[in-house]
Amino acid sequence: MSPIRTEQGQTSGIHHSNGVSAFLGLPYAAPPVGRLRFAPPAPAEPWDGVREAAAFGNAGIQILPGVGDLSAAQSEDCLYLNVWTPSADPAAKLPVMVWIHGGGFLYGAASEALYNGAALAERGVIVVSFNYRLGVFGFLAHPEAGTNFAVLDWVTALRWVQQNISAFGGDPGNVTVFGQSSGAAAVRALLSTPSARGLFHRGIIQSAGFEHPVSANYTADSIVQLSNTLFERVGTTDLDALRGLPQDTMVKASLTRPAALATPGRLHTPADLVWFPAVDGDVVTDGFAAWPNDMPVMFGTTQDEARYFHRPGGPVGGPPVSAEQAYTPAALAVMAHTLVPRRADDVLTQFRDRGLSTYEALTELTTAAVFHEPALAAYERFTALGRTAYTYRFARVSPGNHRSRMLAYHMAELPYVFGHVAAGDGPDAEYDTTDTTLRDAVQHAWVEFARTGTPRTLAGEAWPSCRTTDPQLTVIEDTVEFRPLNPSPLTQLIRSTRTDAGN
């Protein structure tokens, strides 16, 4: 394959046996270091000759340790993207799928093996992924510099796609942004980012980015307060001085909200984000400034989201213990009053009446309060707005996840989306042939949505769209089925507290 010409210069990639070519570590903006720390991304510098795009660019500075191998060094110089393409013919005009990685805006990178886009691209789409500034580097609020620098990174990456993707065989007029967890919250934030309007045409929101986050602190004021606390810790508000401080100093000073970490009597939940995109009236606005009426959105959850955070073997990063040791009735009571303060006693009574173990109750509580009920509220809001939307529930429990008791946990759908599922032999196999069939079904639905705006089954049947009467959702379990949207009694109870409070 001949080198591809981008606006910055020519580049050559890696050619895989499946016909997909990968171009890794392409800069989409200048390194945000020195005077560009806490500044909007600047244009990437051009280069001479042919740039070899054979290795991932740096990951963003990790504010907290994640659980995956980044496969890349960490640096503030992290604004790099990756492209996987099955055809570099500009006439191909293939749909483009731009992935935003998760990690609570505190960790993670596009270079993680789970996000390798080669198998998804083999389905006939261009896959793009990118790194962005995390934590304090992406979301500090400063009266002179502004905030939401990471959001501007996302917009700049999308603008790079508009300017360059044709050379890789992609259609700049058909771009789908998709993300999971905080990556899904990023997709939702982009719907409210005026400068992103016209840069993407569909959105997939996986396991986050729904209505009314559990925490009452998801506001611009909370980011300002958090930033002010950081200024006090480092002893300055001077922008030049802040740009000159060592990155380790900034990271240490940025973890200022105790709820971000597990504390005695209270378990960590994904509602405990520290740095995040907030409505500032400039970069991110209230409402849906970048969501035109004709843009379809797909969103969904997994059945057992919280088992990623409250693991059967104890919390992530802690010593292996039994669920009974790690998750006590006292912790369950604290979490019930934290997540459902208006009806905590009713929640606990419901668990007792059902005879659930403390661990089962705790994971159901966090799943319902942080994911399922907010997704239900998003369903109601999107349909009330008259938007075209599709919703799903991923409930497949693979043999490996059955043995580990992780079930259909937060992130369980990602190996299916990216095609990293292969049937094994014997009792220790992680996946079986049911999983490979579902892998094909999930990839087909995601690609069809990117291609046409309508997700479909392998047989070609369109998923039901969200509607106010006879609401339906698509359940991805051992098969793909369309079922009435019947929230669990726990989700309904939590929803009643929201509606009673006027949310």
Which residue in 8, 85, 9 sits closest to 43, CA to CA?
8
Please tell me the distance from the alpha carbon of residue 106 to that of residue 135, in angstroms, as a whole number: 5
Active site residue 410: yes
Q: What is the pLDDT along the chain (503 residues), one digit of tens a residue?
A: 689 999 999 999 999 888 999 999 999 999 999 999 999 999 999 999 999 999 999 999 999 887 779 999 999 999 999 999 999 999 999 999 999 999 999 999 999 999 999 999 999 999 999 999 999 999 999 999 999 999 999 999 999 999 999 999 999 999 999 999 999 999 999 999 999 999 999 999 999 999 975 444 568 898 999 999 999 999 999 999 999 999 999 999 998 654 433 444 556 666 667 899 999 999 999 999 999 999 999 999 999 999 999 999 877 666 677 777 778 999 899 899 989 999 999 999 999 999 999 999 999 999 999 999 999 999 999 999 999 999 999 999 999 999 999 999 999 999 999 999 999 998 999 999 999 999 999 999 999 999 999 999 999 999 999 999 999 999 999 999 999 999 999 999 999 987 766 65
Percent helix, strand and coil across the chain, each to the nearest 5: 35, 15, 50
The vertex-212 CA angle with 337 and 100, nearest 5°, equals 115
The pLDDT score that the predictor gives to residue 145 is 97
pLDDT digits (tens, 9 = 90+) for 26-50: 999 999 999 999 999 999 999 999 9
Contact status, residue 24 vs residue 82, Cβ threshold 8 Å: yes
* CA-based R_g, the chain, Å: 22
The pLDDT score that the predictor gives to residue 113 is 97
Q: N- to C-terminal Cα distance for the chain?
A: 55
Question: Chain-centre distance of CA 374, in angstroms?
Answer: 15
Q: Which two tokens stand for residue 149?
A: 């620098």
Which residue in 456, 453, 462, 391 sits closest to 200, CA to CA?
453
CA dihedral 26, 30, 31, 32 (to 10 degrees): -130
CATH class of 1-295: alpha beta
Q: Which is the catalytic residue, given 101, 201, 310, 410?
A: 410
Contact status, residue 206 vs residue 300, Cβ threshold 8 Å: yes
The pLDDT score that the predictor gives to residue 65 is 84
The pLDDT score that the predictor gives to residue 133 is 98
In the chain, domain spans: 1-295, 321-500
The pLDDT score that the predictor gives to residue 229 is 93
Q: Which is the catalytic residue, given 21, 129, 181, 215?
A: 181
Active site residue 181: yes
Active site residue 15: no
Characterize 3-26 residue by residue with b for buried, 16 or more Cβ atoms within 10 angstroms of its Cβ, and e for exposed.
bbebebbebbbeeeeeebbbbbbb
Q: Which is the catalytic residue, given 76, 112, 305, 364?
A: 305
- Ranges of beta strands (E only) in 46-144 are 50-52, 80-85, 94-100, 126-130
Please tell me the distance from the alpha carbon of residue 457 to that of residue 448, in angstroms, as a whole number: 9
Q: Could you give the 3-state DSSP secondary structure of residue 312?
A: coil
If phi > 0 it is left, if psi is from -120 to 50 it is alpha, else beta; for residue 143 that is alpha
Comparing 1-295 with 321-500, is the CATH topology the same? Answer: yes
Using CA atoms, how far residue 224 sits from 125, 143, 153, 231, in Å, is: 40, 9, 20, 10
Contact status, residue 105 vs residue 273, Cβ threshold 8 Å: yes
The pLDDT score that the predictor gives to residue 258 is 43
The pLDDT score that the predictor gives to residue 194 is 97
The pLDDT score that the predictor gives to residue 216 is 47
According to DSSP, residue 99 is labeled: E
CATH class of 321-500: alpha beta
The pLDDT score that the predictor gives to residue 259 is 40
